[in-house]
């Protein structure tokens, strides 16, 4: 199945122009060639898991990641998330620790964020595929164009969406978001080296309480909260 054929229909309806662009055809060729030469993560049927689990009409919040985990059996097509039973990478551990502090919950035993995706949180990586053991190996221009189109489509929604932008890359990707209509929550990246440091004019991730802040802003705009249960 090609990349285009695996995009859910509801998302394809708002991404038609991006899918018809030459950059997307070049991206499809690139990913197919990479899979022919070796292991690529996530598996082909999970590349667009974030879109499949979070239908366009149900997007309530967006969390932007970087590229998929590049170790075996880790990436599942959702930013920061790992399959149940897999060790939690440092960034994910810090996210869950902040979630537990912020919402006063016990630390979860696993590392899957699939429940968030099903509750309307779009867990979108900047790059959706990667070669085994080679971080950023698939930083193809086609992914930049395609993901910019995803953000543009969500940005065009009339109802407010909470964008949690962690780190410089995520914040740079969100420069065109409508801050008057949507909720923009910035902090440093949750990685081990950055989580406790501020990022420009953004606070450190640790202690930033992004989950409760997102829901407080939604309540202020008379919108229901995001269900952050795991």
Kindly report the backbone phi and psi dihedral angles of residue 165, in degrees, each rounded to the nearest multiple of 5, phi listed first.
-105, 105
Element (H, E) at 209: none
Q: 185: helix, coil or strand?
A: strand
Buried b (16+ CB within 10 A) or exposed e, 42-60: beeebbbbbbbbbebeebb
| Nearest to 14, CA basis, from 146, 161, 153 | 153
Measured distance CA(179)–CA(185) in Å, rounded = 10
Q: How close are the terminal C-alpha atoms of the chain, in Å? A: 31
Transcribe 25-72 into DSSP letters: HHHHHHHHHHHHHS-EES-GGGTTHHHHHS-GGG--EEEEE-S---ST
* Three-state secondary structure string covering 125-140: ECCCCEECCECCCCCC
Residues in the chain: 230
Please identify which of the residues 67, 178, 201, 229 carries the catalytic annotation: 67
Can 67 be counted among the known catalytic residues? yes
What does the angle CA 136 – CA 35 – CA 78 come to, to the nearest 5 degrees? Answer: 55
Q: Which residues are catalytic?
A: 67
């Amino acid at each position: 199945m090609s990349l285009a054929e695996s995009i859910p229909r509801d998302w394809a309806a708002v991404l038609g122009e991006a899918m018809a662009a030459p950059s997307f055809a070049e991206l499809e060729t690139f990913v197919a060639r990479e899979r022919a030469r070796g292991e690529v993560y996530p598996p082909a049927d999970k590349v667009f898991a974030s879109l499949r689990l979070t239908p366009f009409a149900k997007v309530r919040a967006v969390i932007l990641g970087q590229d998929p985990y590049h170790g075996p059996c880790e990436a599942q097509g959702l930013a920061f998330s790992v399959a149940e039973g897999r060790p939690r990478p440092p960034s994910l551990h810090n996210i869950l620790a902040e979630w537990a502090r912020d919402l006063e919950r016990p630390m979860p035993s696993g590392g899957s964020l699939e429940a968030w995706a099903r509750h309307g949180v779009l867990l979108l990586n900047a790059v959706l595929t990667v070669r085994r053991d080679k971080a950023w190996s698939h930083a193809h221009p086609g992914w930049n164009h395609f993901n910019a189109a995803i953000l543009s489509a969500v940005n065009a929604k009339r109802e407010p969406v909470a964008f949690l932008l962690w780190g410089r890359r995520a914040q740079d990707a969100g420069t065109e978001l409508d801050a008057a209509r949507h909720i923009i929550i910035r902090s440093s990246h949750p990685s081990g080296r950055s989580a406790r440091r501020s990022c420009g004019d953004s606070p450190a991730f640790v202690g930033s309480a992004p989950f409760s802040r997102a829901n407080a802003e939604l309540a202020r705009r008379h919108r229901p909260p995001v269900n952050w249960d795991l």
